[in-house]
Amino acid sequence: MMHEQGKKILDANAKVELAIGDSSAAVNEAGAAQISIGNKTHSHATRELGSASLPAVHVRSEDCIEIRRLYRFFGETKAVEDVSFTVKRGHVFGYIGPNGAGKTTSMRILATLDLPSYGDSFIDGLSCVNDPELVRRRLGFMPDSFGTYRDVNCREYLDFFARAYGVTGAERNRRLSWVLGFTGTEGMASKPIRGLSKGMKQRLCLGRALIHDPSVLILDEPAAGLDPRARIDLRRMIRDLADQGKTILISSHILTELAEMCDSVGIIEQGKLLATGSVEEIQDQQVEKRELAIRVLERSNEAAAVLQALEHVGEIIIDGELLRFEFAGDMREQAELLALLFARGFPVAECTSHRQSLEDVFLQVTEGLVQ
Amino acid sequence: MAAVAPPGNSAQQQETVDSVIGVARSMERLDAWCEKWGDWCNPILVKETRQALKSRQFVITFSLLLFAALSWTIIGTFSLMPAIYDTPSAPRMMLGYYFVLALPMLLVVPLAAYRSLEGEIDDGTLELLSITALSPKQIVLGKLASAMLQMLLYFVVLFPCVSYAYTLRGVDFPTTVILLGMLVIAGVMMTIVALFFAPLSRSRSGRVMMLLVVIMLLVGAEWLLGLAAFEMITNERSLLGWEDLVLVLFGVVLLVVPALGYLLLTLAAAQLTPVIENRSTKIRVSLMVVNATVVACVTLGSTDPFDGMELLLVGGTGLMLLWVLASSMLVAESAVLTPRVQRDLPQSFMARATFTWLAPGPATGLVFSTINVWLLAGIAVGAAFYYGRDGNAFALRDQKMMIQFVFAISSYLTCFLLLVYGLMRVLRRKNNPRVEVGFAALVVVAVFAALGPYGIELYLNDFLDFPYSAWQATNWVWTLYNIGDGVDCYAVIEAMGTVGVVGVLGIMFWNPALVRPRRTATPERVREEREKMDRDKMDRDKMDRDKMDRDKMDRVPSSSA
C-alpha cells in the first residue's frame, strides 16, 4: 500500500517535468526526482520520452564531461532536446551551432547555472544537478558576457575570485602570478577593468576561469569579437591548456578555428545534436560527394563522355583541359576511375580531390534546419 | 673595514642593524597576520571594502559628513554663545550631530547595500559568484558586513563631535548611549531589510517597485527614529523614566531584533539559493527562533500585568501576521524533493518524529504551520488566564473574548491553509508557481470564505438584513466581529477548529510518504569526493600548523640573540 502510494506521488511529480513550464524550478525538481526514481518508476516522463530512463547511480568512466539525455524547455520552446555526448579527459571539444541552437543553454547546465528539464550532465562522474558544489571545484566557466565590478582593477578582480574559490595564502599569490602571466595581462594588473579592451577583457575572463586551477573548462564563445591576433593568441592558450591535461568544451561560430584546435566537435541545431566525433570522422560521415578536378591534356571532351558513363559521377563541367565533377564513390573507386582513363590512353596530367571543410560539413548537416 | 672601526661605533651600528631587522620582522609578522586574517575574512567583505573605499559614493558621503559635522560644530557653537559657558547646551548640538549621522547610517549605507546586491544580479556577476565556493548566505553576510564597516567609519568620524556635545551637559550618558545604539541597530536592520528586498524581483518594473518600497521604508525609518531622538533629547525623556520596561526593551533589542534580522537574512539568502537546494528548513528554523524570542519578551514583561498585556497584544498581533504570511507560503512549496534534499533528511526514529516537519514540502509545511499556530494560540490563552487570574488586568469578559479571538483565528487559519494546500496542489499539476502565490491563494480563500456565504444569504433574503447563523460559520469577518461584540461563538470556533485539525491529521495519515519523506543514500562517488575534500582540508591545516611552528622556531634564536 505504502509502495503504491509512493509510486503515485513520484508519478505525479514526474508529470510536472513534462509540463514544459518556463520556470526552472518545476522542471529541475522533477528531473531530479526522475533520477532518484531510477528506471523502476513508470513515470509519465519516461513513457512519453519513450526510451530508457537514467541510471540511478553515478558511473565512473574515462569521460571527463558527460551530457546524458539532456532536455531543457522554456515554455513551449525546446532549447535543448535529447542531447548526449561525452568528452575525454584532456580533449578539446568544439560545440558548433548557429545562434539559438542550444549551445549556451547546455553549457550553462554543465556549469551548474541552469537546471535541465530532464536528463543530467556529469563532470568526472559527479552530477551537475545533484552535486553542483563538488562539480564547481573542478570547473572553470567563461560565459559569453563579461561580469565586471566598478572600481576594481585586474589583480583585485582575480584576487577576489581566487578567494571566492577558497584559494588562500601563498597558493593564491602563486595562482595569481601564473594566471596573469599565462593570459598576458601582467601589464594590466593595476588597471581598472572598465577601461580594458575587449581582447584584454576576454583574457581576464579566461584568467578568472583558471584562477582555481580547474580540470575542466567551459568556454562560451571566447573568440567572439576578437581581432585576428587575439584569436591566434586565444587558440594558442587553449591548446596549451589542453596540453596541460585540462578538458575543454568550447563553443564558437568560427568553424575553421575550431577545426584546428578541437579533438572532437559536436554540431547542434535547434536544440538537437546532429553529429559528434572528431572533425575527420564527421567529415567522413557526412561527405557523400567529393569534387574531383582532372586535367586531361588532350581529348578532354571524349574523356568527359567516358567518365559520364561511370557510376558515382555527377554532371561534368568541361573547362578547357579541366574536367570538374562531383564524385560519390570511395577512394578505391576513384583509383579505378583514374586507371580507366589511363587505360584508354588519355593523357591525365593531374587529379585533385577537394574535401569538404568543417564549414561545408556544418552547412550540410544543418541543411534544412537553419532558420 | 669592520676590524678598523672603533669598538663603540661598531656596537652602535650592530644595535641599529638589529633594531632594523626587528622592525622588518615585526612588519613581516604583521603582514602575515593581515594576510591570514584576509584569508579568514569573507571574500565579499574584502572585495566590497576595496570597492567601497575607492567608490565616488563613499568619498562624497564621507567628505559631506565631515563637512557637515565641522560646519555644525562651528555654527552650533557660535549660535549658542555665550550661554554655552554656563547653561546646558548639549541637546541642540546632539540633535544636529544625530541628524548628520542618521542620513548616511539610515539612508546612504542601506541603499548602497541594496544597489550592490541588485548590481550583482544586473551585471551577471551573481552567476559568476554562484559557481564559486561562496554560499548565498556568505554573499548576503558579506554585503552586510561591508555596510557595517562603512557605518563604523561614519560613526568613528562623528564620535569626537558627539563626545564634545556630551561635555556641554544637558543629555545624560544613558540617553546618549541609547540614542547612538538605536541608530546603529536601526542602520543594521534597515540594511538587512534592503538586502532582503534586493533580489525579490528580477523584472525591470518589479525592481523599480522594490527600490521605491525600500526608499519609502528607509525614509520612514529615518523619520520615526528622528522623531524618537527629538523626543528623547528635547523632552529629556531619558532611560531613567522607563525603568518598568527596561528589561523588556533590552529583551526586544537583544532577542527579537536579531531574530527578525536573522529571518530576513535567511530569506534573502534563500532567494539567491538554487531551487535544487533545501531553502525551507533554515527559514522554518528562523521562524521558530522569532516565535521563541517574542514569547520570551512577553514573558519578561509579565512582572507587570498591564504592561504584560500590552506586550501580549503587540507580540501576538505581530506573530499572527507573520504566521499568516509564512504559513501560506510554506503550504505552497513544491512537493518534489530533489535527491540532494532527500540525502539530508533525518534518519533515526526520533529525528524523523521531530525534525521531519522542518523538511521542505507543502505537507510538512502544513503540519509545521498548524503545530506552530496552535502552540502559539495555547501560549496566548495561557497568558490570558495568567493575567486574568485575579481580574486585575483583565475583566472576565475581556479574557473570554481574547481566548475566543485567539482560537477563532487559529481555527480559521488552519481551515484556510488546508484549502490553500489543495488549491496549490491543483495549480502545481500544470505550472510551477512561486511560493508567494500561496499568500495570494490564502487571500482569495479568505475573501471567498467571508463574502461567499454572506452574498448567498443576502441574495436569498432579498438583500435584507439577516442575523448571524451557522450558515455564516466560514464568514470569519462576521465571527470575529461578533466575538468583539461579546457574542459567544464557541460552537463555530469548535466546528472550524475540528474541521481544520482533522483535515491536517487526515493529510498526515492519508499520504504518509508526502508528510514523512524518506532519506535516500548518498552515491558512493559523492561520498568519496567529500572524504577527499575533508582529507585535503586536514592536510592544508596541518601544513599551516607546521608552517606556523617553523616560523616560531625561526623567531626564537633571533629574539634570544
pLDDT at A270 over 60: yes
Residues near A238 by Cβ (< 8 Å), separated by ≥ 6? A92, A219, A222, A248, A250, A261
pLDDT at B243 over 80: no
Under an 8 A CB cutoff, do A134 and B530 touch? Answer: yes
Using CA atoms, how far apart are residues A73 and A116, in angstroms rounded to an integer?
8
Q: Which pLDDT score is estimated for B245?
A: 66
Share of chain B above pLDDT 90, in %: 43
Minimum-distance CB partner of B336 among A29, A134, A148: A29
Asked whether residue A35 is assigned to any structural domain, the reply reads yes
Using CA atoms, how far apart are residues B155 and B149, in angstroms rounded to an integer?
10
Alpha helices by DSSP H, listed for B136-203, are 136-167, 173-197
Q: Which pLDDT score is estimated for A87?
A: 92
Q: Which pLDDT score is estimated for A47?
A: 36
What distance in Å separates residue A20's CA from the closest CA in chain B? 8
Asked whether residue A309 is assigned to any structural domain, the reply reads yes
C-alpha distances (whole Å) from A49 to each of A17, A21, A79, A109, B331 are 11, 17, 16, 20, 31
Which chain A residue shows the shortest CA-CA distance from B119?
Answer: A149
Using CA atoms, how far apart are residues A180 and A168, in angstroms rounded to an integer?
17
Under an 8 A CB cutoff, do A25 and B432 touch? Answer: yes
pLDDT digits (tens, 9 = 90+) for B77-122: 888 788 777 777 788 888 899 999 999 999 999 999 999 999 898 8
Instruction: Establish if A2 touches chain B: CB-CB under 8 angstroms.
Output: yes
Q: How many domains does chain A have?
A: 3
Asked whether residue A98 is assigned to any structural domain, the reply reads no
Instruction: Establish if A190 touches chain B: CB-CB under 8 angstroms.
Output: no
Query: And the C-alpha cell for A277?
Result: 566525433
Q: Per mean pLDDT, which of B206-220, B420-434, B523-537 is the most reliable? A: B206-220
- Are residues A6 and A114 both part of a single domain? yes
The mean pLDDT of A255-282, rounded to a whole number, is 83
Using CA atoms, how far apart are residues A6 and B222, in angstroms rounded to an integer?
54
Using CA atoms, how far apart are residues B267 and B435, in angstroms rounded to an integer?
12
Chain B residues with CB under 8 Å of A64 CB are none
Under an 8 A CB cutoff, do A134 and B429 touch? Answer: no
CB of A223 within 8 A of CB of A184?
no
Considering only A107-121, A170-184, B27-41, which range has the smallest mean pLDDT? B27-41
Using CA atoms, how far apart are residues A262 and A167, in angstroms rounded to an integer?
30
Return the axis-axis angle of helices B362-387 and B305-330, rounded to nearest 10°. 170
Chain B residues with CB under 8 Å of A45 CB are none
pLDDT digits (tens, 9 = 90+) for B436-479: 999 999 999 999 999 999 999 999 998 888 999 889 999 999 99
Considering only A14-23, A299-308, B21-30, which range has the smallest mean pLDDT? A14-23
The mean pLDDT of A333-359, rounded to a whole number, is 84
Under an 8 A CB cutoff, do A156 and B47 touch? Answer: yes
Q: Identify the CATH number of the domain in which residue A227 sits.
A: 3.40.50.300
- Are residues A116 and A130 both part of a single domain? no
Using CA atoms, how far apart are residues A174 and A159, in angstroms rounded to an integer?
11
Q: Where along chain B do its domains lie?
A: 41-237, 277-521, 525-561
SS3 of chain A: the string is CHHHHHHHHHHHHHHHHCCCCCCHHHHHHHHHHHHHHHHHCCCHHHHHHCCCCCCCCCCCCCEEEEEEEEEEEECCEEEEEEEEEEEECCCEEEEECCCCCCHHHHHHHHCCCCCCCEEEEEECCEECCCCHHHHHCCEEEECCCCCCCCCCEHHHHHHHHHHHCCCCHHHHHHHHHHHHHHCCCHHHCCCEHHHCCHHHHHHHHHHHHHCCCCCEEEEECCCCCCCHHHHHHHHHHHHHHHHCCCEEEEEECCHHHHHHHCCEEEEEECCEEEEEECHHHHHHHHCCCEEEEEEECCCHHHHHHHHHCCCCECCCEEECCEEEEEECCCHHHHHHHHHHHHHCCCCEEEEEEECCCHHHHHHHHCCCCCC
Residue A277, Cβ density class (10 Å: 0-12 exposed, 13-18 middle, ≥19 buried) = middle
Asked whether residue A128 is assigned to any structural domain, the reply reads yes
Residue where a domain stops, chosen among A284, A311, A326 = A284
The mean pLDDT of A99-108, rounded to a whole number, is 90
Which residues 198-227 of A have a C-beta within 8 angstroms of B? Answer: 208
Instruction: Establish if A75 touches chain B: CB-CB under 8 angstroms.
Output: no
**Among residues A109, A8, A119, A11, which one has the least CA distance to residue A55?**
A119
Q: Identify the CATH number of the domain in which residue A296 sits.
A: 3.30.70.920
Which amino acid would we find at residue A163?
Answer: R
Q: A242 vs A18, which has greater pLDDT?
A: A242
Check residue B435 and give left, alpha or beta (phi > 0: left; psi -120 to 50: alpha): alpha
Query: And the C-alpha cell for B380?
Result: 496566548
Under an 8 A CB cutoff, do A13 and B336 touch? Answer: yes
Substitution target from A29, A41, A114, A217 for chain B, most B beta carbons within 10 A: A29
Under an 8 A CB cutoff, do A13 and B128 touch? Answer: no
- Are residues A143 and A273 both part of a single domain? yes
Under an 8 A CB cutoff, do A26 and B127 touch? Answer: no
What distance in Å separates residue A277's CA from the closest CA in chain B? 28
The mean pLDDT of A27-47, rounded to a whole number, is 35
Using CA atoms, how far apart are residues B198 and B183, in angstroms rounded to an integer?
22
* B27-54: b (≥16 Cβ within 10 Å) or e: eeeeeeeeeeebbeebbbbbbbbbbbee
Under an 8 A CB cutoff, do A58 and B127 touch? Answer: no
Residue A164 sits in which domain range?
124-284
- Are residues A263 and A300 both part of a single domain? no
Chain A residues with CB under 8 Å of B512 CB are 2, 5
Confidence tier at B557 by pLDDT (50, 70, 90): low
Asked whether residue A56 is assigned to any structural domain, the reply reads yes
Q: Which pLDDT score is estimated for B544?
A: 73
* A293-327: b (≥16 Cβ within 10 Å) or e: ebbbeeebeebbebbeeeebbeebeeeeeebbbbb
* B409-421: b (≥16 Cβ within 10 Å) or e: bbbbbbbbbbbbb
Under an 8 A CB cutoff, do A163 and B338 touch? Answer: no
- Are residues A34 and A51 both part of a single domain? yes
Share of chain B above pLDDT 70, in %: 93
The mean pLDDT of A226-245, rounded to a whole number, is 87
Under an 8 A CB cutoff, do A27 and B47 touch? Answer: no
Q: B522 vs B481, which has greater pLDDT?
A: B481
Write down how long chain A is.
371
Torsion of CA B55, B58, B60, B65, to 10 degrees: -170
Chain A residues with CB under 8 Å of B435 CB are none
Is the previous residue joined to B346 through a cis bond, with omega within 30 degrees of 0?
no
Q: Which pLDDT score is estimated for B32?
A: 78
Chain B residues with CB under 8 Å of A109 CB are none
What distance in Å separates residue A65's CA from the closest CA in chain B? 15
Q: B311 vs A219, which has greater pLDDT?
A: A219
Q: Which pLDDT score is estimated for B102?
A: 92
Alpha carbons within 13 angstroms on the beta-carbon side of residue A128 total 28
What distance in Å separates residue A136's CA from the closest CA in chain B? 6
Q: How far is CA A181 from the centre of its chain?
A: 28
- Are residues A215 and A77 both part of a single domain? no
Asked whether residue A371 is assigned to any structural domain, the reply reads no
Under an 8 A CB cutoff, do B523 and A58 touch? Answer: yes
Using CA atoms, how far apart are residues B159 and A147, in angstroms rounded to an integer?
39
Under an 8 A CB cutoff, do B511 and A36 touch? Answer: no
Share of chain A above pLDDT 90, in %: 25
pLDDT digits (tens, 9 = 90+) for B332-389: 998 888 888 888 888 888 888 788 888 898 999 999 999 999 999 999 998 888 877 7
Which chain A residue shows the shortest CA-CA distance from B517?
Answer: A6
The mean pLDDT of B193-213, rounded to a whole number, is 91
Under an 8 A CB cutoff, do A136 and B132 touch? Answer: yes
Task: Tally A–B CB contacts below 8 A.
Answer: 161
Minimum-distance CB partner of A136 among B50, B54, B131: B131
- Are residues A255 and A349 both part of a single domain? no
What distance in Å separates residue B135's CA from the closest CA in chain A? 9
- Are residues A247 and A158 both part of a single domain? yes
Residues near B25 by Cβ (< 8 Å), separated by ≥ 6? B555, B558
Chain B residues with CB under 8 Å of A7 CB are none
Instruction: Establish if A61 touches chain B: CB-CB under 8 angstroms.
Output: no
- Are residues A164 and A234 both part of a single domain? yes
Using CA atoms, how far apart are residues A122 and B195, in angstroms rounded to an integer?
34
The mean pLDDT of B303-327, rounded to a whole number, is 85
The mean pLDDT of A138-165, rounded to a whole number, is 89
Confidence tier at B168 by pLDDT (50, 70, 90): confident
Asked whether residue A192 is assigned to any structural domain, the reply reads yes
pLDDT at B18 over 50: yes
Query: And the C-alpha cell for A137?
Result: 571545484
pLDDT at A20 over 60: no
Minimum-distance CB partner of A29 among B44, B338, B523: B338
- Are residues A208 and A273 both part of a single domain? yes
Q: A225 vs B429, which has greater pLDDT?
A: B429
Chain A residues with CB under 8 Å of B431 CB are 19, 21, 23, 26
- Are residues A79 and A168 both part of a single domain? no
Instruction: Establish if A26 touches chain B: CB-CB under 8 angstroms.
Output: yes
Which chain A residue shows the shortest CA-CA distance from B433?
Answer: A23
pLDDT at B240 over 70: no
